[in-house]
Chains A and B, each alone.
Chain A
Amino acid sequence: MDIPESYISADEIASRIPDGALIGVPKEDGGVAMEITRALVRRKARNLRLLTVPVSSLQADLLIGAGCLSEIETSGVSMGEFGYAPNFRTATQDGTITVRDATCPAIYAELQASEKGAPFQPLRGILGSDVLAHRTDWKVIDNPFAEDGNDPVVLLPAVRPDVALFHARYGDRYGNVWVGPKRECILLAHASAQTFVTVEEIWDGNLMEEERMLAGTIPPVYVDAVAHAERGAWPLSLAGCYDRDGDHLREYVAAAKTADGFTDYLERHVYGKQAAA
């Protein structure tokens, strides 16, 4: 399949994400736009704020290490089976990045409120935690529907990312992208001001006209730009296409534990390459 004429390059998408933008991204098996992440490092993006939906791994750690982030809202940053996230740990301990600690369903709730155009979404739990104590933007009210009025509930404010950014399995020439069961990407697209997507493969036909594909498709009313990026989630996985590259992730974690090792990693795997067109 030819690349649709409306598609732009991953580097061009990176150039359309301005410094200071709030970027919403899925977790590591949800279709992470690693090609654009590397392009953001190449264009030396600064003061980006990352909202991880609801957690992250390599993507957050790479952006932190390269100095692209000033702030991260997350429920967790870890390299999973490969250990802790070295740059996240160092930057947090040194205070060079602001962490807004959250808990997974609270991040979904913030986006669901934005998706509905509602000011907030209520959520059970969280009460009495230091997560809540440090989040002055989260409020507690008494449930107005409770019989005796004594039922505290946490309210999460609507959060509208400037940019939703992810990698999807298919895109077609009509501007549709297919994320299948990765419904948090659909939530992100609905909740954000703009959505930028890389796609693994070009779908021959119209995804909105295929009944089996329809439910997992995001139509172009939510999508602002698409780029074709083969293996665009590498070294993370793309469901149904490829597994994560464990050897590479192991190498990353070892390299990122020292400043020299991380610089060397960037030279070899980020600066030395142009994104796929």
Chain B
Amino acid sequence: MLDGCRNIAVGTASPIPGSAALLMQALTNGASRASILGSNIHNPFNDGGPELFDRAGQGRVDAFFLGGGQIDGEANINLVSTGPYPEPDTRFPGSFGSAYLYFAVPRVILFREEHSRRVFVDKVDFVSAPGWSPPGVHRPGGPHALVTSLCIFMYNKGRHRFRLDGLLPGATLEEVRDNTGFDFDCPDDVGPVVAPEPDRIALIHSRIAGEIAETYPEFARNRLGWKG
């Protein structure tokens, strides 16, 4: 999913995407460069907060990760609230850079561990950033894939729809259908996602755990067994 990306940027509250970006950096000996927001070491920028957005605007960020309190079948994402706006039922933190980066970065990978009908809805209540734009809108960027705790979907930009691409270990197609509130394309032969090799898993729990701990110590300790 990140093959060939020269600059992989990771935003706020994204420990798993951050680990993935650092893993790519390690596996490619730095040919893929990770920039982790909030990191002093793994962030090759020094011109302050606007620099990430300026670089993305120029097309110099190849991949980025976004989440969502709600995500729908057209890849619209909602980071603001459920129910009516501006006095919502549940308020989320806010849109962060999504309304901009979703337009600017060619490969935006949507990442949300919780795979439920609460998250994956037919239509989001608030569009922080739309999954697609009508002709005439300058938009080199957009959704590339959606990764959850059950499966991986790839996004079809022409049809504005997700296609189920693979199931994570232990997950079934029925389970995915039961917990997804939107319609998606499903090939007949959908199989399991190929598991990472043991040496790669070892790398994640050693070097990568130490690198991500600088920015996400709680995550590194609780999920990757970091002992720092």
Which listed residue, A29, A101, A181, A246, touches B95 by the CB 8 Å rule? A101
| CB-based contact B87/A103 at 8 Å | no
Question: Which residues of the other chain, B, contact A186 by a CB distance below 8 angstroms?
Answer: 48
Taking CB atoms, residues of chain B closer than 8 Å to A239 are 40
Query: B104 — which chain A residues lie within 8 A by C-beta?
Result: 124-125
A55-B130 in contact given A104-B100, A134-B85 (Cβ < 8 Å)? no
B53 within 8 Å of A by Cβ? yes
Collect the chain B residues with CB atoms within 8 Å of residue A108's CB: 49-50, 53
Q: Which of A29, A75, A105, A127 contacts B133 (CB under 8 A)? A: A127
Pairwise interchain contact A151-B80, C-beta atoms closer than 8 A: no
Q: A152 vs B81: C-alpha distance in the bound complex, in angstroms?
A: 27
Inter-subunit contact B97/A105 (CB<8 Å): yes
A66 at the B interface (CB under 8 A): no
CA distance A23 to B80 in the complex (A): 23
**Looking at chain B's contact residues, is the secondary structure mostly helix, strand, loop, or mixed?**
loop
Q: Which of B2-46 contact A (CB under 8 A)?
A: 12-13, 15, 38, 40, 46
CB distance from B223 to the nearest CB of A (A): 12
| Mask: chain A, 93-124; 1 = CB below 8 Å from B; 0 = not | 11100110111111010001000000000011
> Would you call A183 and B138 a contact (CB within 8 A)?
no
The answer to whether the Cβ of A272 comes within 8 Å of any Cβ in the partner chain is no
In angstroms, Cα B185 to Cα A138, docked, is 37
Distance of A78 Cα from B97 Cα, bound (Å): 14
Q: A98 vs B87: C-alpha distance in the bound complex, in angstroms? A: 9
Instruction: Identify the stretch in B151-159, B162-170, B197-205, B214-222 within 8 Å (CB) of chain A at 4 or more residues.
Output: B214-222
CA distance A145 to B228 in the complex (A): 54
Q: How far is the CA of A134 from the CA of B84 in the complex (A)?
A: 12
Decide: B47 and A124 in contact? CB cutoff 8 A.
no
Q: How many residues of B contact A (CB 8 A)?
A: 50
With known contacts A104-B53, A105-B53, A124-B57, A132–B93 Cβ distance under 8 A: no
* B88 interface contact, C-beta 8 A: yes
Min CB distance A109 to B, Å, is 8
- Check if A85 is an interface residue, CB within 8 A of chain B: yes
User: Pick the contact of A182 from B48, B89, B91, B103 — CB < 8 Å?
Assistant: B48
Q: A124-B100, A239-B40 are in contact. Are A75 and B49 (CB under 8 A)?
A: no
- Say whether, besides A76-B95, A129-B128, A150-B136, A181 and B46 are in contact (CB < 8 Å): yes
What secondary structure prevails in chain A residues at the interface with B? Answer: mixed
Task: Look across to chain B and name the residue whose beta carbon is closest to the beta carbon of A142.
Answer: B136
Known: A76-B94, A103-B96, A151-B138. A183 touches B130 (CB 8 A): no
Instruction: Report the tally of A-B residue pairs with Cβ distances under 8 A.
Output: 155
What 0/1 readout, one digit per residue, does chain B (71-84) give for beta carbons within 8 Å of chain A? Answer: 00000000111000
A126 touches B40 (CB 8 A): no
Check B126 against A55 for contact (C-beta < 8 Å).
no
Closest CB of chain A to B210's CB: distance in Å? 16
Given contacts A80-B13, A103-B99, A152-B137, contact A129 B129 (CB under 8 A): yes
State whether B99 touches A126 (Cβ < 8 A).
Answer: yes
Q: Please state if B96 and A75 are interface contacts (CB–CB under 8 Å).
A: yes
The answer to whether B95 and A124 touch across the interface, beta carbons within 8 angstroms, is no
Known: A81-B218, A124-B100, A246-B217. Is A92-B93 also a contact (CB below 8 A)?
Answer: no
Q: Name which residue of chain B comes closest to A126, CB basis.
A: B99
- 20 contacting pairs across A/B (C-beta < 8 A): A30-B49, A54-B49, A55-B94, A76-B12, A78-B13, A93-B90, A93-B91, A102-B94, A103-B98, A103-B100, A123-B100, A124-B57, A124-B138, A125-B100, A125-B104, A127-B133, A130-B80, A131-B80, A184-B49, A184-B50
- A-side interface residues toward B, CB under 8 Å? 27, 29-30, 53-55, 74-78, 80-81, 84-85, 88-89, 92-95, 98-99, 101-106, 108, 112, 123-132, 134, 150-153, 181-184, 186-187, 239, 246
Interface positions of B (Cβ within 8 A of A): 12-13, 15, 38, 40, 46-50, 53, 57, 79-81, 85-104, 126-130, 133-134, 136-139, 216-219
Known A-B contacts: A92-B87, A127-B130. Give 17 more (CB < 8 A). A76-B95, A89-B90, A89-B91, A92-B86, A103-B95, A103-B97, A103-B99, A104-B97, A125-B99, A130-B80, A131-B95, A131-B127, A151-B136, A152-B136, A183-B47, A183-B49, A246-B217
